[in-house]
């Protein structure tokens, strides 16, 4: 029996939100083939001999949800998200890596009905990352001499640029980083039974300098993402 678009077993889907997060990975894929699934453009091919799928989701949780579903439909058997985030935990600095243990949507709020923040229909709006894939991502980032933190990542459809808001999210969800896609990926993967992991390079600290810091850091991100993905694949 074969799977989806690639016709193979054990296909890792690689995903980022912005072109800059996936550009170098896309360039490194051999025998690339473009397919469109659920309106999402997906590249399939080989990366260092491993069958992979690659997609750029676009920014935000809805785009990330649709792209995750498309990658699953295309035959992904696991999914790895690489990108940038704002650091909100103590001691987290620009250039560090955060590998998610679990992810939650910080803008899910039906607390007025007695539910905990981030919980909807009695379930955490997010999910728990696969430990094996996360270990491999953390090892890959360490091999690039990055300081690696492991903890909760909080996602919402907002670019956080306020120390007060960042501190509130950090405290409410025990979060280390904020971004705009990860918990959506986590929730969809959990619903679909797809193991996943999320690595975020810290581009800013979600404060008043975030926009400038983000703009400078994203210039470096393409090569970092490719390097960490290659490290991950080398362990498989």
User: Catalytic annotation on 21?
Assistant: yes
Measured in Å, how far apart are the chain's first and last C-alpha atoms? 22
Cα torsion through 10, 46, 183, 132, rounded to 10: 50
Q: Which of 173, 178, 163 is nearest to 85 (CA)?
A: 178
185 binds ligand SAH (CB under 6 A): no
Catalytic residue among 21, 179, 181, 207: 21
Burial, 36: exposed, middle or buried (Cβ in 10 Å; 0-12, 13-18, 19+)? exposed
Q: Answer whether 69's CB lies under 8 Å from 192's CB.
A: yes
184 binds ligand SAH (CB under 6 A): no
Q: Return the residue of 47, 80, 100, 160 that touches ligand SAH, per CB under 6 A.
A: 160
Q: Answer whether 226's CB lies under 8 Å from 25's CB.
A: yes
* Residue span 53-72 as binding mask against ligand SAH, x where in contact by CB under 6 A, dash where not: ------x-------------
103 binds ligand SAH (CB under 6 A): no
DSSP secondary structure of 93-160: -TT-EEEEEEEEETT---GGGTPPTTEETTEESEEEPPHHHHHHHHHHHHHTT--EEEEEEEE-SS--
Candidate segments 65-73, 106-114, 141-149, 200-208, binder of ligand SAH by CB under 6 A: 200-208
Q: For ligand SAH, give the closer residue by CB, 17 or 52.
A: 17
Q: Return the residue of 56, 130, 181, 225 that touches ligand SAH, per CB under 6 A.
A: 181
Catalytic residue among 96, 181, 204, 207: 204
Q: Return the residue of 47, 169, 178, 185 that touches ligand SAH, per CB under 6 A.
A: 178
Measured from each CB, the residue nearest to ligand SAH is 86
Q: Would you tell me which residues interact with ligand SAH (CB under 6 A)?
A: 17-18, 59, 83-86, 159-160, 178-181, 203-204, 206, 210, 214
Supply the residues annotated as catalytic: 21, 204
């Amino acid at each position: 029996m074969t799977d989806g678009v690639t016709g193979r077993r054990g296909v890792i889907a690689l995903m980022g939100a912005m072109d800059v997060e996936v550009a170098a990975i896309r360039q490194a894929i051999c025998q690339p083939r473009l397919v469109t699934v659920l309106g999402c453009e997906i590249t399939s091919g080989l990366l260092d001999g491993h069958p992979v799928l690659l997609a750029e989701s676009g920014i935000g949780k809805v785009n990330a949800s649709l792209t995750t579903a498309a990658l699953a439909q295309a035959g992904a058997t696991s999914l790895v998200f690489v990108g940038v985030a704002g650091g909100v935990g103590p001691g987290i600095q620009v250039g560090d890596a955060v590998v998610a243990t679990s992810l939650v949507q910080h803008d899910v709020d039906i607390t007025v009905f007695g539910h905990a923040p981030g919980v909807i229909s009695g379930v955490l709006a997010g999910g728990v990352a696969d430990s094996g894939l996360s270990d491999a991502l953390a090892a890959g980032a360490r091999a690039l001499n990055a300081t690696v933190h492991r903890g909760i990542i909080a996602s919402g459809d907002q670019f956080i640029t306020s120390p007060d808001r960042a501190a509130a999210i950090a405290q409410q969800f025990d979060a280390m980083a904020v971004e705009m896609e990860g918990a959506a990926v986590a929730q969809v993967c959990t619903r679909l039974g797809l193991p996943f992991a999320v690595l975020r390079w810290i581009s800013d600290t979600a404060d008043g300098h975030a926009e400038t810091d983000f703009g400078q850091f994203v210039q470096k991100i393409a090569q970092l993402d490719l390097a960490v993905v290659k490290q991950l694949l080398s362990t498989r």
